[in-house]
Amino acid sequence: MVNWWKQSTFYEIYMPSFKDGNGDGIGDFAGITSKLDYLKELGIDGLWLTPFYLSPKVDNGYDIADYKSIDPDYGTMEDFEDFIKEAHQRGIRVIADLVLNHTSTDHKWFQESISSKNHPKREWYIWRDEPNNWESFFGGSAWEYNEATNQYYYHAFAKEQADLNWANPEVKQAMFDVMKFWLEKGVDGFRLDVINFLKVNDSFKDNPYDFEKNEQNHLYDKDQEGVLSIITEIAKFVHQFPDKFLVGEVGSEDLKILKQYSGLNKLDVVFNFNIGSIGEFDSDKIFQQLEETEQVYHPTQIPTLFFSSHDMSRHISRFGGDEDRAKLVAALMLTAKGVPFIYYGNEIGMRDWVADDIAKMKDVQGLMAYELEIQSNQSHEKALAAANEKSRDKSRTPMQWNSHSNVGFSETAPWITIPTHAYKINVENQQSDPKSMLSFYKRLLKLRKVHSSLGLGDYEFLRNENGMIYFVRKDQFEKILVILNFSDQSKSLNIASCFASDIEMLLSSKRTSLESGNVVTILANEAMILKGDIRDEPIK
């Protein structure tokens, strides 16, 4: 029996920004529930929800103050339970974002830990008499002094996010209890945040400095010995519950590191940042990473396919803002080998937002970048530019439902700025337009459901020629050829030796029919998907 997630498409919902259901300007469970029919019609199979637990939101929910409570901004436990029930009734699975690495400093565990060196919770966190040179991934020192106890605690991220001490068995048991709580509430698995950070080197040696990159080399504070044993224990525990799914955020673009965390007795998949976080559009680099991932992963592991998330710029903006290109990227993500993750709003082509005022910025990473620049005597303009570069607010603006007040997201002003360009790009405008981005996504997602090879098939080949990526995916039932011409020139391809007969065009981003003959002309910036009878000879 095939695991359900292997042929599923996931959709990431950034909790405060998807849909406000109670009129307070913040997205919530009631709002998401009201849009489940939209998500069902879109064609997704699973939802990934960013953290919804009680939190002071220094890092917008990734600083958890109570793992077993719903933050009031997002509703009540009854709202959550109703949402889970309604999603499952529509055949939509739900995975919850879970932060096992650190808690908010407001969490009662940390408040007890900070109260005394002799408190039993003291060893639940990482304390030192003197700091080493480790830097926070948000900037500045990773150590914060506590005057009351005359020691420093470790925080890999913001100082309000204190790292748990996973060398302590009590910590591990407490977090297993958290996972059990939510699994019994009905979640279908977890997205595990910064999961390769669970262990640090207990020698606490200084990290070396990479002078070429002008940054610290985080040699001793992530991917440490023992972390894979913890991963194995987590996977064993979660997979005791039937049909559960684990995806890990491993903070690396190194395939050799990513490979270690998934597969048999480990996480089901990890996010392939080697593909997803490519900074500027480069079809050759995208192909290279697809090819290398296939070589490293095949035959036992499955990659993930994504190009946007709450932590990065939206790929339509990052890759130049061209809608034709964005459609090709969507086609790649939804037809290449891997488990795809769509970021909310990408299906309508939502763009990035750039803050023109530091007072409008919400993201702690951007705000810290601004402060560090000001402390270095940089001008406000340079500091704001640095803040916008680091800030993750750019991709976190409200979902654009219509062109009415607050883009249909809320009846009141939302928690974050709505970009001025947002009103032109929305669901309502695209629903009935067969040429829209939304319609294209729907067609792609429908194809994934109808054609098994797009979800489960192996590559017969994977090729790249002068800006045109093309591949055949094949299972025991069918063979499908995907052609993605990322170049600005038309290309010709002989498809006769790939298919025996009865060639059918399943989808094109630029036409409605296929010309007759063995040679197909692929237009500039066109995506085309063809199906035919299986023939053993590879394409020439």
Catalogue the active-site residues.
Answer: 193, 249
CA separation for the pair 230, 2 (Å, rounded): 26
- Tokens in use for 80? 């959550």
Q: What contacts 89, CB < 8 A, 6 or more positions away?
A: none
Q: What contacts 502, CB < 8 A, 6 or more positions away?
A: 532, 533
CA separation for the pair 247, 250 (Å, rounded): 9
CB distance 471 to 495 below 8 Å: no
Tokens 């939190």 appear where? 55
Q: What contacts 21, CB < 8 A, 6 or more positions away?
A: 27, 28, 29, 30, 31, 32, 33, 34, 75
Give the burial string for 369-405 (b: 16+ CB within 10 Å, else e): bbebbbeeeeeeeebbbbbbebbbbbbbbbbbbeeee
Q: Of 206, 202, 203, 201, nearest to 217 (Cα)?
A: 206
Say whether 100 sits in a helix, a strand or coil: coil
Stated as kind and residue range, the H or E segment containing 11 is strand 10-13
CA separation for the pair 37, 47 (Å, rounded): 13
